[in-house]
Amino acid sequence: MARRTLSPLIAVTGPRRGGKAPRLLVHLAILLAGGRPVHLRPGGPHSHDMTNYDGVVITGGHDIDPVLYASQSEVVPKYDSERDKLESDVIDDALARGLPLLGICRGAQLLNVRLGGTLFQELRSRRKQTSNRWTILPLKTLLIEADSCLRELLRGQRVKINSLHNQGIDVLGDGLIVSGRDLDGIVQGIEAPGQRFLIGVQWHPEFLIFQARQRRLFKALVEAAKTHRQNAGSQMPCEGIG
């Protein structure tokens, strides 16, 4: 009974080294949303414990090794195989247990891959109306699909986002739909209809937590994790989010 009174525990993944700023911002966003973050890294103290948390955030970082979606490398490789392995295991476990999951940038891509999807290994050649420049500032336009969980959470059809990615989603994984694209039609949001909370976003909402709409992504994750902990399986995505 004591565990039920605690805030939901949210696993935050990351690399063995580096990526400190995004993970700290995700940590803060989860705290602000009422959750308790715990960090999972290759070789870290919690890397073998995948039974005690109630929700997951897969953070951004290096490109995903294309061998994971049965493809050959088309770009100069900059992969992190031990992180790929850890996060693949975390995603597979979350899917098997029905845990709420938010994939950010690389995390959205890996979620798509674990569900059988594929990626574009470079996006520069696919951009016509948008810049390939990386920026943490909300300077790019997100077009959100109607009747999506993402539309409900961000409360708008056109929203400004940032962009820090080389790769993008090509073929969708099983059970996923596109919930948002940029002005070039590049996928920026995916979700699984009917799941309590299974969302991937290509941008970095942790750098935009000064915006209430971006904080709602983390709030929705924490609320879904709380519901999962309490075994109230009837609640659907986006319900009960203020």
DSSP 3-state assignment of 235? coil
CA 40, distance to chain mean position in Å, is: 15
Q: What is the DSSP letter of 183?
A: T
pLDDT single digits (tens) 62-98: 888 787 876 766 665 678 899 999 999 999 999 999 9
User: Which residues are 120's β-sheet partners?
Assistant: 168
Nearest to 114 by CA among 219, 22, 220, 13: 13
pLDDT single digits (tens) 108-119: 999 999 999 999
Angle at 30 between CA 29 and CA 33, to 5 degrees: 90
Choosing from 87, 105, 191, 223, the catalytic residue is: 105
Choosing from 204, 223, 228, 238, the catalytic residue is: 204
**Residue 51: its pLDDT value, please?**
67
Q: Is 105 a known active-site residue?
A: yes
When comparing pLDDT for 5 and 202, which is higher? 202
Q: Is 228 a known active-site residue?
A: no
Q: What residues have CB less than 8 Å from 193, skipping those under 6 apart?
A: 149, 177, 237
Mean pLDDT of 1-17: 79
Pick the CATH number of 9-69+77-120+134-234 from 3.40.630.30, 3.40.50.880, 2.160.10.10, 1.20.140.10: 3.40.50.880
Q: What residues have CB less than 8 Å from 79, skipping those under 6 apart?
A: 62, 63, 64, 65
pLDDT single digits (tens) 193-221: 988 899 999 999 999 999 999 999 999 99
**Model-level pTM?**
0.90
Band of the pLDDT at 183, cuts 50, 70, 90?
very high
Q: Is the pLDDT of residue 48 over 60?
A: no
Tokens 């996928």 label which residue?
A: 187
Q: Is 62 a known active-site residue?
A: no
Structural domain boundaries in the chain: 9-69+77-120+134-234
Choosing from 27, 149, 191, 206, the catalytic residue is: 206
The answer to whether 142 touches 184, Cβ cutoff 8 Å, is: no
